Amino acid sequence: MFITSRITVLAAALPAVYGTTVKSPTPPMGWNSYNHYNCQPNETIIKQNAQGLVDLGFRDLGYNIVTVDCGWAATTRDEQDRLQWDKETFPSGPEALGDFIHNLDLKFGLYSGAGYRMCGLPDTPASLGYEEIDAQAFADWGGDTLKYDNCYSTSPTEMVDVTSPESQSPDRFITMEKALNQTDRDMQYFLCQWGIGQNVPDWTAPLGNSWRMSNDIFNAWRALWRIVNQAVPHVQHTGPGAFADLDMLIIGLNALSVEEEHFHFGFWSMLKSPLIIGGVLVEAEIPASSLEVMRNEEVIAINQDPLAKAAALVIRYTEEEWDVWAGPLSDDRMVLGIANWKNETQTVEVDLSLVGVSSAASRDVWAHEDGSISGVQTFELKPHELRLLVLSDIETTEKPSSIAYYSVQDATVGGQAALVDCGADDCLPNHLKVGSINADASVTFEGVSSAHSGEIFVGIDFINYEYTHTIGDWATNTRNMTFAVNDNEAKRWAFPLAGGDWYETGRLMVALDGFVAGDENTVVFSGFDDGHWAPDLVGLEIFE
Ligand code: GAL
C-alpha cells in the first residue's frame, strides 16, 4: 500500500541539487518515539513498539516506519568521526536494531539535526559539518528515512534560533540532501525546520518528502487550533511526494477526549499530513478507543488518497466557533470536514454551493454510515466534533457568483491604519494593502453593492504572516479583525496564516448579515480589542 517512487517531475524543473530523493507518493505513516518517551528511548522500547505496529494491525494499514527520535546518540563521535549509538541504551547497536525492524517488514527511521547539537541534548553532536560522514553512516546502518531537525543551528549553546537568516536558510538542509544522494541507499528525507522564515514551502516542498511547518504539537486540545491555522499556507503546496507535516499524533497520550482524537486524526488526514503515531503501542498502555481511531481504514484512505491534495478552509464562523473544510479525492469524490471548535453541541447549516455541490451521496467515515446531502444541509455537531464525510455521486452546481470587488484603494482609512503600496507581484489582486489595523483604526468601504438584503457571502482578501513559535501557552498565529455592516454590531473573525510572507494574499470566506439590497451598504473593518494587530486587509469580494 505504501510504495515509494522517485518523483522525477519536480527534479527536472529544479537545479540538480534536488536530485532523486526517494519520496512516497502519499503521506508517510509510522511511529516515532518522541511524543511519549521524549529523548529517552532505548532498544527495548523501540523493539516493543515496532512489534506493536505489527501485532496491533498497524503495519498492515500502512504505518510502516519506526523512528528513533532524539536520545539514541552517544556524546562523542568515534575515531572516524562517525556518530555512535549510546551503548548503554542501545547495546546491540544500530545494525541489529535495523535488522529487527526490517525483519518485521518495517522501515528503520533515523533522526539527526542540521545543527551543532541534537535537540534537547546540548552534549550530543548533530550533523552540521559532518553531513557526508553521517549520511554514509545512516546508509550503513540500514536507515530508510531521516528526520532532520533544526536545533543549535547557529551556535552550540543556543537551542532554538528562529530569527537569524542562517537558521532560516535552506542551505544546511540542502547539504544533507546532497550527502544522502551520494550514498547508495534509498532514503526518505523528512525536514523538521519548523516552518521558520519566509516562503518556506517554496524550497521545502521540492526538497523533502515532508516538512514540519510549526513548532511541536503540545499535549492539549488548544495545540490543534494553532497548528491547523498555521498549516493553511503550507498545505496548499502539498502534493504527491511533498507533504506539509503537522507533527506527530497525540492520540493515546491522555491529552484529548475520544471526540477530540477523532477531530485530530480527521484533520491530519484531510490535510494530508504524515500520520506518525506517538502513543505506546502496547495494548495495556493505550486506550482501545485510541487504537480504534488510528485504525479507521476509511479515514486512513482519505489521508492516503492518490491525488494527495490537501483540503482547504471553505468558510469560517468565528464567534460561532465552527468552520468548513473541503478537498478533492480521486474518482471525482470530495472530502468535507465540518469542524465544531466549540465545546458545546451546536446545529449548523452548510451551504453546499460553496463547494460547488448541489447533492451527493455522503459517507460518514467515523459513524460508518451512508447518507445523502443537498442544498443547505443541517448538521448537529457534538462538542469538538469534526464531522468527516466522503462525498460521491456528486451533482454539481455553480459556486456563488461574484458581483463586485472592492480594493482598499476604494476605502477610507482611519486611525493608525495605513495604506501600503506593495510590489508588482505582491498583495494580489491590486498590489495594495492596509496595514497597522488595531482596535482604534478603521477601514471603511461605502457604496457597497448587495444583490439582496440580509446575509451574504463575502470573500475577505487579507495578509497574515504571524509566525508564532509557541508550544504550550495560549499564543496562536491567528489574527482577529471585526467587521460591521451598516448599523449592525461588529463581529469578530479569526484569520489563519495567509501565505509565505507579509505580501502574499489569502482569502477567507465569511457570511455577513445586515446588508440591504442595492448600492448603499457600508462595511467597516477594525482591529479586535485583544492588544494585537488585525491582519492586513487587501480587499473584499461580494457574492450574490
Ligand atoms: C524538536 C522536534 C521534535 C522532536 C524534538 C526532539 O525540534 O520538532 O519533533 O524531534 O526536537 O528534542
pLDDT (mean) for 501-521: 98
Question: How big is the chain by its Cα radius of gyration, in Å?
Answer: 24
Q: Give 38-78 pLDDT, tens digit per residue.
A: 999 999 999 999 999 999 999 999 999 999 999 999 999 99
Q: Quick check: 273 and 245 in contact, CB under 8 A?
A: yes
Is residue 79's pLDDT more than 50? Answer: yes
Residue minimizing CA distance to atom 11 of ligand 1: 119
Ligand 1 proximity of 162 Cβ (cutoff 6 Å): no
Which of 67, 70, 246 to probe ligand 1 with, by most ligand atoms within 8 A of CB? 70
Atom of ligand 1 nearest to the CA of 247: 9
| CA dist 189 → 28, 42, 44, 148, 281 (Å) | 11, 23, 26, 8, 24
Q: Give 347-406 pLDDT, tens digit per residue.
A: 999 999 999 999 999 999 999 999 999 999 999 999 999 999 999 999 999 999 999 999
For the full predicted model, state whether its pTM sits above 0.85.
Answer: yes
Residue minimizing CA distance to atom 4 of ligand 1: 34
CA 72 to chain centre: 27
Q: Give the rounded percent of residues in the chain with a pLDDT score beyond 90.
A: 93
Q: Quick check: 381 and 338 in contact, CB under 8 A?
A: yes
Which of 119, 124, 276 to probe ligand 1 with, by most ligand atoms within 8 A of CB? 119
Per-residue pLDDT band for 530 (boundaries 50, 70, 90) equals: confident
Residue minimizing CA distance to atom 9 of ligand 1: 216
For residue 24, report the distance from its CA to the centre of ligand 1, in Å.
22
Q: Which residue has the higher pLDDT, 14 or 60?
A: 60
Phi, then psi, of 460 in degrees rounded to 5: -100, 120
Sign of CA dihedral 438, 444, 448, 453: positive
pLDDT (mean) for 452-460: 97
For residue 193, report the distance from its CA to the centre of ligand 1, in Å.
10
Q: Give 298-319 pLDDT, tens digit per residue.
A: 999 999 999 999 999 999 999 9
Task: Determine the Cα–Cα distance for residues 103 and 208; give it in Å rounded to an integer.
Answer: 27
Per-residue pLDDT band for 20 (boundaries 50, 70, 90) equals: low
Q: Give 102-127 pLDDT, tens digit per residue.
A: 999 999 999 999 999 999 999 999 99
Ligand 1 proximity of 216 Cβ (cutoff 6 Å): yes
Is residue 521's pLDDT more than 60? Answer: yes
Ligand 1 proximity of 110 Cβ (cutoff 6 Å): no
pLDDT of residue 17: 40
pLDDT of residue 419: 97
Within 8 A by CB and 6+ apart from 541, the residues are: 402, 404, 405, 406, 458, 459, 461
Per-residue pLDDT band for 452 (boundaries 50, 70, 90) equals: very high
Atom of ligand 1 nearest to the CA of 147: 10
Annotated catalytic sites, by residue? 149, 216
Q: Which residue has the higher pLDDT, 474 or 79?
A: 79
User: Average per-residue pLDDT in the chain?
Assistant: 95
Per-residue pLDDT band for 430 (boundaries 50, 70, 90) equals: very high
Residue minimizing CA distance to atom 5 of ligand 1: 119
Which of 31, 39, 149 to probe ligand 1 with, by most ligand atoms within 8 A of CB? 149
Burial 270-280 (b: 16+ CB within 10 A, else e): bbbbbbbbbbb
Ligand 1 proximity of 68 Cβ (cutoff 6 Å): no
pLDDT of residue 190: 98
Per-residue pLDDT band for 159 (boundaries 50, 70, 90) equals: very high
Is residue 8's pLDDT more than 80? Answer: no
pLDDT of residue 16: 37
Q: Which residues pair with 507 in a beta bridge?
A: 461
For residue 35, report the distance from its CA to the centre of ligand 1, in Å.
9
Half-sphere exposure of 387 (CA within 13 A, CB side): 25
Ligand 1 proximity of 39 Cβ (cutoff 6 Å): yes
